[in-house]
């Protein structure tokens, strides 16, 4: 609506209604076209997900590797050597953590095996008494029925195993590609913005550089907030394991921390392992208490800690974080749950920057807007292109 229409007084009600309907139709068409564009973008991302996912993973890995790489470069190392050192160092640290967890678990396996054997014997005595009164022959018959059922379902089980093996192989390839891309991002990332400025021009390059720098800072905030949430989960669940006297408390806490970076599945597997170890080693009562602790911690994490911490670090409202995670999970599954928050934060960064540009261009032309649109100081504002 132009200024003439805004200040015009309509003398005929039908004319005013017709103008309002025309205005609504124009904006409805714009909204519909914008929605179509977003739908096409989502469709394209889905088709190219095998390419998009490694790039997103590599960007998140780069946010972790870039600070030490930048420090090494400030000490005189070239970019390739610094990127190699931080990437190899990160893999060594991760491998050391996995090896420590594995050795601790291996040392505790005999104790858990003895506890499991005692638990099986107690379960047999329990089902042999009232109200079940099952004899050994009854138990043998039930076991035989279970074996026959497994044999009958061997085809579907094999197909499921093959599907799972294919998914694991695809995940390994994706992780390898993401690591290689992260190496190149760390090595050549500082050359990207100058190249972009030369490609699109100084004025548009200034806008894109500002937006990309803000998005980069947002990705760093996402990784820090996710690490904080995972650490809180690991401390609380580890404390519960130690208080209850469950073995392998430290490895299970470490698995909980690592699993926190894998939405839904990671927390579920880590919690299930904690409950299972408590069941076989300490009995049913301890397992129930551990299950309550795990459920409470995960609910507090998903509904309180994660939305609050991520909303502060990413400048998104907690309700927005909760909604985008739900939407991402429903559309893209586990990967959508993980990437939905940083993607939403990046979109919010772009929208806030556009708002700044619009606000700067809506004031008097004599105002210095060089820091917003890339113009030289003191020059009158140019009209939007």
Domain boundaries, the chain: 50-107+176-199, 201-385
Distance of CA 248 to the CA centre of its chain: 27
Q: Provide mean pLDDT across the span 206-226.
A: 83
Q: Are 171 and 333 in contact (CB under 8 A)?
A: no
Quote the tokens at residue 293: 């602790």
pLDDT in tens, 278-311: 887 777 888 889 889 988 888 887 777 777 776 6
In this prediction, residue 382 has a pLDDT band, given cuts at 50, 70 and 90, of very low
- C-alpha distances out from residue 128 to 66, 67, 118, 134, 349, Å: 62, 62, 15, 5, 65
Which pLDDT belongs to residue 381? 43
Residue 369 — very low, low, confident or very high, per pLDDT cuts 50/70/90? very low
Buried-state track 232-265, b at ≥16 Cβ within 10 A, e below 16: bbbebbbebbeebebbbbebbbbbbbbbbebbbe
> pLDDT at position 31, please?
92
Write out the DSSP string of 54-75: HHHHHHHHHHHHHHHHHHHHHT
Q: What is the pTM of this model?
A: 0.65
Task: Reduce the DSSP state of residue 247 to 3 states and report it.
Answer: coil
Find the range with the poorest average confidence among 255-259, 304-308, 344-348.
Answer: 304-308
Q: Which residue has the higher pLDDT, 46 or 23?
A: 23
Percent of the chain having pLDDT more than 70? 71
Residue 108 has pLDDT above 50, yes or no: yes
Q: Which two tokens stand for residue 204?
A: 């548009």
Residue 150, pLDDT above cutoff 60? no
Range among 131-140, 145-154, 194-203 with highest mean pLDDT value: 194-203
Cα–Cα distances (Å) from 10 to 13, 27, 108, in that order, read: 7, 21, 84
* Local confidence band at 28 (pLDDT 50, 70, 90 cut-offs): very high
Give the model's pLDDT for residue 99. Answer: 79
Asked if the model's pLDDT at residue 314 lies above 80, the reply is no
Question: Of the candidates 211, 201, 214, 209, which has an alpha carbon nearest to the alpha carbon of residue 382?
Answer: 201
pLDDT of residue 94: 82
Examine the pLDDT at 256 and tell me if it is beyond 80. yes
Q: Cα–Cα distance between 162 and 166 in angstroms, integer?
A: 6
Closest CA to 306 of 218, 220, 230: 230
Find out whether 280 and 114 touch, Cβ atoms under 8 Å.
Answer: no
Q: What is the mean pLDDT of the chain?
A: 76
What mean pLDDT is predicted for residues 215-230?
82
8 A C-beta contact, residue 170 and residue 53:
no
Nearest Cα to Cα of residue 19 among 32, 42, 1, 31: 1
How far apart, in Å, are the Cα atoms of 383 and each of 12, 236, 375, 380? 36, 57, 11, 9
pLDDT tens digits for range 10-20: 666 777 787 78
For 113-162, give the DSSP string: HHHHHHHHHHHHHHHHSTTT---HHHHHHHHHHHHHHHHHTHHHHHHHHH
């Amino acid at each position: 609506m132009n200024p003439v229409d805004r200040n015009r007084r309509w003398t005929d009600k039908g004319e005013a209604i017709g103008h309002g309907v025309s205005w609504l139709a124009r904006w409805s068409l714009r909204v519909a076209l914008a929605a179509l564009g977003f739908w096409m973008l989502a469709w394209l991302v889905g088709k190219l997900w095998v390419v998009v996912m490694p790039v997103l993973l590599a960007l998140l890995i780069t946010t972790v590797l870039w600070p030490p790489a930048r420090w090494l470069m400030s000490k005189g190392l070239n970019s390739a050597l610094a990127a190699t050192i931080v990437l190899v160092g990160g893999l060594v640290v991760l491998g050391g953590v996995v090896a420590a967890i594995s050795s601790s678990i291996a040392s505790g396996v005999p104790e858990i095996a003895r506890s499991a054997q005692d638990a099986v014997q107690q379960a047999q005595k329990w089902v042999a008494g009232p109200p079940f009164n099952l004899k050994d022959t009854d138990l043998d018959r039930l076991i035989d029925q279970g074996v026959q059922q497994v044999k009958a379902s061997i085809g579907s089980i094999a197909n499921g195993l093959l599907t799972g093996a294919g998914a694991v192989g695809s995940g390994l390839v994706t992780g390898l590609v993401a690591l290689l891309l992260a190496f190149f991002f760390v090595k050549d990332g500082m050359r990207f913005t100058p190249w972009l400025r030369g490609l699109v021009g100084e004025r548009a390059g200034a806008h894109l550089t500002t937006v990309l720098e803000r998005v980069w800072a947002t990705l760093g905030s996402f990784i820090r907030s996710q690490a904080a949430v995972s650490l809180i989960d690991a401390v609380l669940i580890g404390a519960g394991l130690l208080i209850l006297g469950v073995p392998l408390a430290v490895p299970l806490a470490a698995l909980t921390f690592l699993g926190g970076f894998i939405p839904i599945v990671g927390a579920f597997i880590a919690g299930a392992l904690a409950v299972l170890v408590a069941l076989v080693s300490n009995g049913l009562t301890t397992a129930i208490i551990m299950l309550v602790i795990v459920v409470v911690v995960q609910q507090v994490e998903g509904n309180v800690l994660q939305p609050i911490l991520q909303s502060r670090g990413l400048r998104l409202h907690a309700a927005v974080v909760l909604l985008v995670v739900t939407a991402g999970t429903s559309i893209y599954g586990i990967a959508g749950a993980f990437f939905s928050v940083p993607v939403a934060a990046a979109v919010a960064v772009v929208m806030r920057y556009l708002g700044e540009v619009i606000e700067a261009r809506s004031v008097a032309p004599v105002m210095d807007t060089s820091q917003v649109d890339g113009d030289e100081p003191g020059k009158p504002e140019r009209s939007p292109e």
